[in-house]
């Protein structure tokens, strides 16, 4: 399982991904990965490796994670879904053929980025996820709707039709995101 969270402070993407990267059967690599906006204030994390290049999108973030970077800097104002998609690429090994998983991660990333305070998500291998925080399915849907001009959200990896986004309220502070359809 991949857990991703935000702590909602100003001036940074502030995403943290925690999980075990699945490799070969029986092998796993534990990891904590952080994503911050370049130019923002970067806290000191002794012992963690910071990438030297500013990443421009999910594939570049995932590539830095895979090269052993613990902290990746992204362009300010970059795609809010990119850190979550990148975490899935790093953790589960998603590629361009995993359209449903990438679409689900894109929706989760957009939902996380829209939360004003701390929020966490658990993402499954197939892209299904759950959001935990002070939120409702109706509020998440409203926050997503404004990010889908023309009913679609486009990233370089996948396009997500808004009508494929299925949310449900599992508990007062838990929203489920079902597997989404993704197209190229």
52-78: per-residue pLDDT in tens?
899 999 999 999 999 989 899 998 888
Residue 184 in any domain: the answer is no
Residue 182 in any domain: the answer is no
Whether the per-residue pLDDT at 100 is higher than 60: the answer is yes
Whether the per-residue pLDDT at 152 is higher than 90: the answer is yes
**pLDDT confidence of 140, banded at 50, 70, 90?**
very high
The whole domain housing 42 covers 2-177
pLDDT, average across residues 48-52: 88
Helix (H) or strand (E) holding 66: helix 58-66
**pLDDT confidence of 113, banded at 50, 70, 90?**
confident
Decide: 85 and 106 in contact? Cβ < 8 Å. yes
Strand partners, 4: 17, 121
Q: How many domains does the chain have?
A: 1
Residue 183 in any domain: the answer is no
Name the CA radius of gyration of the chain, rounded.
Answer: 15
Residue 151 in any domain: the answer is yes
Residue 34 in any domain: the answer is yes
Residue 79 in any domain: the answer is yes
Residue 20 in any domain: the answer is yes
User: With a threshold of 0.75, does the pTM exceed it?
Assistant: yes
Residue 171 in any domain: the answer is yes
Whether the per-residue pLDDT at 29 is higher than 60: the answer is no
The pLDDT value given to residue 42: 76
**pLDDT confidence of 33, banded at 50, 70, 90?**
confident
């Amino acid at each position: 399982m991949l857990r991703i969270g935000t702590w909602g402070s100003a001036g940074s993407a502030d995403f943290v991904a925690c999980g075990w990267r699945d490799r070969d059967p029986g092998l796993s690599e534990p990891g904590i990965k952080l994503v911050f906006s370049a130019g923002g204030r970067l806290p000191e994390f002794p012992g963690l490796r910071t990438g030297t290049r500013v990443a421009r999108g999910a594939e570049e973030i995932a590539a830095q994670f895979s090269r052993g970077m613990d902290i990746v800097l992204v362009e300010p104002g970059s795609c809010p879904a990119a850190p979550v998609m990148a975490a899935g690429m790093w953790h589960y090994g998603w590629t361009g053929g995993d359209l449903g998983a990438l679409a689900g991660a894109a929706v989760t990333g957009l939902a996380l980025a829209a939360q004003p305070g701390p929020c966490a998500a658990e993402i499954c291998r197939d892209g299904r996820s759950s959001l935990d925080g002070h939120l409702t399915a109706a509020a998440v849907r409203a926050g997503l709707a404004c990010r889908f001009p023309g009913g679609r959200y486009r990233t370089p990896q996948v396009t997500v039709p808004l009508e494929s986004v299925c949310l449900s309220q599992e508990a007062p502070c838990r929203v489920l995101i079902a597997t989404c359809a993704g197209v190229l």
